[in-house]
Structure 1
Amino acid sequence: MRDGFVKVAAGTPHIKVADCRYNAEQIFTLMREADKQGVKVLCLPELCLTGYTCGDLFLQPTLLRGAEEGLATILEATKNLDMVAAIGLPVRNKWDGKLYNCAAVIHKGEILGVVPKTYLPNYGEFYEQRWFASGAGLDHCIELCGQQMNLGNSGVFACTTMPNLVIGVEICEDLWAAEPPSAALARGGATIVLNLSASNETVGKANYRRSLVTGQSGRLVCGYVYADAGEGESTTDLVFAGHNMIAENGSLLTERRFATGLTISEIDVDRLAYERQRMNTYGPQKEKEIWRVTFDMELGDTHLTRYVSPMPFVPENEADRAERCNEILKIAALGLKKRLEHTHARTAVVGLSGGLDSTLAILITAVAMKLLDRPASDIIAVTMPCFGTTDRTRDNAVELAERLGATLQRIDIGEAVKVHFKDIGQSMENHDVTFENGQARERTQVLMDIANQTGGMVIGTGDLSELALGWCTYNGDHMSNYAVNASIPKTLVRHLVSFISDDKGEEDPRLSAVLDDILDTPVSPELLPAIEGKIAQKTEDLVGPYELHDFFLYYAIRWGFPPRKVFRLAEQALGRRYDRAVILKWLKNFYRRFFSQQFKRSCLPDGPKVGSVALSPRGDWRMPSDAVAALWLEELEELDRA
C-alpha cells in the first residue's frame, strides 16, 4: 500500500440460486484467496449471497434469514482478513418494513455499513421494483448479524492509515442512471468506487458497459471496480457472464468475462488525489452531507501487477500511435500556421542540422505551408557546418531540404566563430562550454539575421526533453520566434519522424530513405570536432538515455510523484534494460538539471502545447528559477543507501 498503490479485485463466485449457505462458503473461500494474493479491497456481485435471479423468493422470510446467516458465517470466517469487501444481499429495514438491494461493506468481521441501491430497473428483463424499494435518501441505523451500523447511500469508508484510500459504493443500475450516486461519493472524498452488479449479457452490451465504467472513472478521477454476476445465476431467460473490470481515471487496467474467480490490479490512490488537487474544477460535495466510517489497515508493500509503459508518451498499439502522430503534426502545424498568418511572415527559417529535432521542425513547417497553400520554397533551410559537423549529417540536411522543396542555404560558420574566439581570447584547443556555446549562438545569430533579410521568422527546433534537462544553449538554440517542438518529448520525436517516413515511403522513397538515416544517426549537438569523420559527442552518453528522462519527466511533472515512486515505477517498466544503479544515477541527474535549468524555461519562445506535459512559463509550468532540489535529491540519496 506504500506509494499509494492499493491492490483491488472484482470477484465473481460460483453460486447456487437461493442456497445462501453454499454461496457464503464460496464467498469466504474467494475472500481468502484474494487475501493470499495481497488484495486489500474486494468487490463482489450484486445479491451474490442469494443470487440475483431469485425472483419472488426475495419476498420469503426464509431467504432473507438465510442471507443474514450467510453473512454472519462470512464475518466469522474472515475476521482475521485485513481486507475491505463489499457483498451483495437483500436487507429488510424494520423502520419502514421495506426490502432493499444492498451491499454490506465488511472488514475484519465487522460490518462498516450497508449501502442500498438507489435506481431500481423495471424495464425489459428487469423487475426489481416488484421486490425492492429505492434507497434514495435513506439514512437509518439498523441491526444486522448482531451488529449496529448505518443503512444509507450517502457514506464513504475511509482508511485512517492511508488517508487517500476512501471507498464509495453503488450498485449496478446506479451507474447507468443520469445522476449516479458515485458522483456525490467522489466529491465527498471517495477515490475508489465499488460497483456490485448483476448485468446480464447480450450482444454488444459489453462494449457499452466498458465505456460506462471507464468513462465514470475518468469523470470522477477515481478508481472503479466493477464486479458482475456470473456462473450459477439462473439461465431461465438470461445469461450472466461475470464481466469484471477495474479502471482508473479513464483507463481500463484489466477485465475478464465468462469466468468466475478474481480479477486483480492495483489502483494508485495518491495519483488520483494529486489529480483532484490539481484540478480546481473538482469541487467539494455541497448537495448533501457525506458521512464517513473509518477503518484501520496495516501498511505494507504492494506487489505491482499493473502494466507500466516504458514510454508513457508513446502509444504502444500501432494504430493508436499512428493516430497520435497524425494528430500532433496537425496541432503543431496549425499553431505555426496561425503565427505565420498573424505576423505576415514571408518565410519560415529553419536551421537544419541533419538531426532529429530540426528534421521534425522542418517537416511540421512543411505541413503548415501546405495548410496555408504556400509553396515549400517559402521555407528557408539553413545548414551551418562547423567544427563538429560530419559529412553524414550535412548530406542528410541537404537531401532533406531538397526533397521537401525548401530553399536551401549553406553557410559555413567556422571562420566567423574563429574570429569571435579571437576577439574574446578563446583558444581553439580549449574545448570547454564556451567553445561549444559559441557555435550554437553563432548559428542562432545567422538564422535571426536571415529571417530579417527575408521578412520571415525563425522556427525553433528544441524539444520538450531538452527543455526539461536544460540541454540547450541559452540565447542559442534556446531562442527562436516560434518553437514547434517545445512540448514534444524526444521519444515521441523519433516516432513522429518514423511515422512520416513510413507515410512517404511509396510517394517519395528518397525522402523516406533520408529520414530513416537520420533516425539511425546518434543524437548529438556536434559541437566538438569529429573523430575520423564520425560524431565525437553523443548526447545520451552525457546526460543519460532519453527514454529514461522522458519516463522521469512524465511521472515527476505530469503526476507529481515523489522521487522514490518515480524510481520504483522506472524499475518496474525499465528494469530489464537498465540496472538499479543506472536508473538511480540518471534520475539524480534529471532532478539536478531540471531544477538548475529552470531559468531557460522561464523565458521560452511561444510554442504549441500538444500533449499532457508542457513546460511553458505562460501555461503549464510555473517555477522559480532559483528553487532548490535538496529535498528531492535527499530522497534519492536514501534510496542509494538502502
Structure 2
Amino acid sequence: DLDRLVAERRRSTTWTRAGDAPEATTVEFSFEGVLAKEPVLRDACDIDRVFPRAPFVPADHGDLAERCETILGLQTAGLKTRLAHTGTKAAVIGLSGGLDSTLALLVTARAFDALGLPRTGITAVSMPGFGTTHRTKSNAESLARDLGVSFREVSIHAAVEQHFKDIEHDPAVQDVTYENSQARERTQILMDLANQTGGFVIGTGDLSELALGWATYNGDHMSMYAVNASVPKTLVRHLVRYAADVFGGRIAEVLLDILDTPVSPELLPPTGDGEIAQKTEDLVGPYELHDYFLYYLLRFGFEPGKIYRMALKSFEGVYDAKTVHTWLRTFYRRFFAQQFKRSCLPDGPKVGSVTLSPRGDWRMPSDASSRLWLAQIDALNPVD
C-alpha cells in the first residue's frame, strides 16, 4: 500500500532519505506499459485485503480489555494533572444518561480517587428539557448515586421558554434555534455551578462528534477540560462496557442499559409512548462508518475514492454501495464545514494516534474548501 507507506514516512521523523545514507539504494520502478504486456494489475475495486471495520478498536478481546484500561488511565492522568495544576477540588458534569457523559463521569471519578479527593466534590447535573426521556434521566441519577458523587437536577424548561419569549421564537417551530437554545442553556448552568463550587466543567463530547461537528457551538462544544476529545464513539462504547465488567453489580446494570439506549441529543420531544424520537445515527449516519472514514483519512491521508473502495469490502453484507456513498459524502461535507468548532476546542488529553486538537496534530483553516474531495466522491458510481 504505497499511500500508507508514504503517510507513515511523512509522519516518522526517524525515516532517512536514501541520499542521506550511503548504505541505502534507490530502486526506480514504474507501472507504465505493464497492463499492455500482461494482466499484472487488477481493477482498483478488486481487492483481497479486508480492513478492520472498527480500526480504533482492537479485534482481540484480551487486547481490548488492556487497551481500555490504558485509555482510561490516560484520560484519568490528563484530568488529574489539570486538577492538581489548578488546585481545583471540584468538578461539574452535565450527566444526560448517554454514553459520552457517562464515560466522562467514570474518568472524573477515577481522577478524584487518584488525587485522594472525595467523590462528593464531583457534581453531576441532570438538566431535563423538552426531549428528555424517563429512561435517560433515571439512568443518570442512578449512576451518580451509585458512584457516590453529588447529584443535582436543574430543569431548563422555564429558562428556555423565557428565552424563546425574549428572542420572539415560536416554540412550535422545532428548528435549530429550538434545539441549540437548550444546549446553550445547559452550558450556562454548568459554567455557573462550576463558579459556585470553585471547580470547572468537564467536557463530554467525543472525537466522532468533533469530526462531524455534531455539537452546539458554545453549547456542549464548550467546557474547561474535554476528557473524551480524542476518543471516537465506537471506542466509547467499549470503554463503558469494560467499566461495566470491572464494576459489576448495580453499576454494571445501569451502564449496560446506557449502552442499549439509542444515541441522541434529546432536544426534540419524545414519541407518544415516551421513547427517544431524535436518533443521531438516523440524522448523520452510522458512527461505525464515520469512524472508519475518519481513521483512514487522518491516520494515513487516504483519498475518499480509496476509502470508499475499502469500506465496500470491509462492510460487505452490512451496508450496500449506495449507503456507503451517501454517508461518505456526508462525512466529508460536514468534516470541512465544521472545522471552525475544532479551531477553538478546550484542552483535552490525546489518547491515540488520531486527534483533532488545534494544539496537537491537526492544522486546518476553518474556510478550507471541500470541493475537490466532494467532486471525487460524486464521480464514484455507488451501483458498482
Shorter chain as denominator, the TM-score bin is over 0.9
Deviation, 1:293, is 5.2
Match of 1:282 among 15, 25, 33: 15
Q: 1:489-540, CA deviations, whole angstroms, 9 ceiling, x for partnerless residues? A: 00000000000001111xxx11000001000000000000111211110000
Residues 1:514 and 2:254 aligned together: yes
Q: 1:109-134, CA deviations, whole angstroms, 9 ceiling, x for partnerless residues? A: xxxxxxxxxxxxxxxxxxxxxxxxxx
* Residue aligning to 2:322: 581
* Residue aligning to 1:526: 266
Q: Given that residues 346 and 454 in structure 1 are in contact (C-alpha distance below 8 angstroms), is that contact kept between their aligned partners in structure 2?
A: no
* Residue aligning to 2:377: 636
* Residue aligning to 1:406: 149
Counterpart mapping for 1:540-559 below 5 A: 540-559=281-300
Query: How far apart, in 1, do the equivalents of 2:26 and 2:354 lie?
Result: 36
* Residue aligning to 1:562: 303
Judging changes above 3 Å, is the alpha-carbon distance between structure 1 residues 414 and 599 closer, same or farther for their aligned structure 2 residues?
Answer: same
Counterpart mapping for 1:407-486 below 5 A: 407-486=150-229
For structure 2, the 5+ residue unaligned runs are: 36-40
Judging changes above 3 Å, is the alpha-carbon distance between structure 1 residues 451 and 317 closer, same or farther for their aligned structure 2 residues?
Answer: same
Q: Given that residues 312 and 554 in structure 1 are in contact (C-alpha distance below 8 angstroms), is that contact kept between their aligned partners in structure 2?
A: yes
Rg: which structure is higher? 1
Counterpart mapping for 1:117-132 below 5 A: none
Amino acid paired to 1:278: R
Judging changes above 3 Å, is the alpha-carbon distance between structure 1 residues 441 and 294 closer, same or farther for their aligned structure 2 residues?
Answer: closer
Deviation, 1:569, is 0.8
Q: 1:602-634, CA deviations, whole angstroms, 9 ceiling, x for partnerless residues? A: 000000000111000010110000001010011
Query: How far apart, in 2, do the equivalents of 1:275 and 1:295 lie?
Result: 21
* Residue aligning to 1:272: 5
Q: Given that residues 3 and 300 in structure 2 are in contact (C-alpha distance below 8 angstroms), is that contact kept between their aligned partners in structure 1?
A: no
Query: How far apart, in 1, do the equivalents of 2:359 and 2:365 lie?
Result: 13
Amino acid paired to 1:540: E
Deviation, 1:318, is 0.6
Query: How far apart, in 1, do the equivalents of 2:168 and 2:88 lie?
Result: 38
Query: How far apart, in 2, do the equivalents of 1:606 and 1:434 lie?
Result: 27
Residues 1:603 and 2:341 aligned together: no
Deviation, 1:575, is 2.0
Deviation, 1:556, is 1.1
The alignment partner of 1:292 has SS state of: coil
Q: 1:465-489, CA deviations, whole angstroms, 9 ceiling, x for partnerless residues? A: 0000000000000000000000000
Counterpart mapping for 1:283-298 below 5 A: 283-285=16-18, 286-288=20-22, 290-292=25-27, 294=29, 296=31, 297-298=34-35
Judging changes above 3 Å, is the alpha-carbon distance between structure 1 residues 395 and 281 closer, same or farther for their aligned structure 2 residues?
Answer: same
Q: Aligned pair count?
A: 372
Q: 1:240-282, CA deviations, whole angstroms, 9 ceiling, x for partnerless residues? A: xxxxxxxxxxxxxxxxxxxxxxxxxxxx122111221233442
Q: Which has the higher helix share?
A: 2
Deviation, 1:580, is 0.4
Q: Given that residues 311 and 550 in structure 1 are in contact (C-alpha distance below 8 angstroms), is that contact kept between their aligned partners in structure 2?
A: yes
Query: How far apart, in 1, do the equivalents of 2:152 and 2:213 lie?
Result: 29
The alignment partner of 1:321 has SS state of: helix
The alignment partner of 2:21 has SS state of: coil
Q: 1:556-591, CA deviations, whole angstroms, 9 ceiling, x for partnerless residues? A: 111100000000111111121000000000000000
Give the superposed CA RMSD.
Answer: 1.3
Match of 2:119 among 376, 385, 391: 376
TM-score by length of 1: 0.57
Deviation, 1:295, is 5.7
Amino acid paired to 1:433: V
Query: How far apart, in 2, do the equivalents of 1:282 and 1:309 lie?
Result: 27
Residues 1:345 and 2:88 aligned together: yes
Amino acid paired to 1:522: P
For structure 1, the 5+ residue unaligned runs are: 1-267
Residues 1:613 and 2:346 aligned together: no
Query: How far apart, in 2, do the equivalents of 1:328 and 1:295 lie?
Result: 43
The alignment partner of 1:387 has SS state of: coil
TM-score by length of 2: 0.94
Residues 1:300 and 2:34 aligned together: no
Judging changes above 3 Å, is the alpha-carbon distance between structure 1 residues 293 and 628 closer, same or farther for their aligned structure 2 residues?
Answer: closer
The alignment partner of 1:623 has SS state of: coil
* Larger RCO of the pair (alpha carbons < 8 Å, separation 6+): 2
